[in-house]
Amino acid sequence: MAKVIADRLTAQVEGEVVVFLIGMRINRIWKIHKWLPVALAMPRMLRELKTIPDSGFLGAESWIGKTTIALQYWRSFEHLERYAKDSARRHRPAWAAFNRAIASNGDVGIWHETYRVRPGDFECIYNNMPPFGLARATTAFSAKGRLETARARMSSRS
């Protein structure tokens, strides 16, 4: 288990960051042969991304349930798009396999949302937490003094 940091931290990001939320929903639990390959694809992609230093992938957090979610951080939309379209990487073949096996038959739902966050358009706080989220994906630093409030953290980035 990750060590809890008994301090108030925030994240330092150079330039913009892309927040990418992606997941799946199991609609027909008994069709394990349909949803298991989809469920296994994301951890494989995340492991692959950690081995590609120039991919632009900064980090991720994941939650598993009937509806899964992977919260990802990327250096830019261009980096994310380049990975998604690269046929030599795991995403493109996984996407093709999904479309062959499931497409729009209703067995498994997939979703994603992409947000481009420019400097000055975010703030974050972590208190009594292990390294997490944007602070784990980038650089964590103290949120004391001039960075005590959400407004101060937001205005310090513009």
Cα–Cα distance measured from residue 44 to residue 59, given in angstroms and rounded to the nearest whole number:
14
What is the enclosing helix (H) or strand (E) of 48? helix 32-50
Sheet holding 57-63, edge to edge: 57-63, 69-74, 17-26, 108-117
Model's pTM, two decimal places? 0.88
Tokens of 122: 């975010």
Contact yes or no for 6/132 (Cβ under 8 A):
no
Cα–Cα distance measured from residue 7 to residue 13, given in angstroms and rounded to the nearest whole number:
19
Could you read off the pLDDT of 97-138 as tens digits, one per residue? 888 888 889 999 999 999 999 988 888 999 999 889 999 999
pLDDT grade for 157, boundaries at 50, 70 and 90: low
Nearest C-alpha neighbor of 58 from the set 22, 20, 2: 20
Domains of the chain: 5-13+118-155 (no CATH), 17-117 (3.30.70.100)
| Parallel/antiparallel/unpaired status of strands 69-74 and 139-142 | unpaired
Could you read off the pLDDT of 38-65 as tens digits, one per residue? 889 999 999 999 999 999 999 999 999 8
Residue 13, beta-bridge partner list: none
Contact yes or no for 28/34 (Cβ under 8 A):
yes
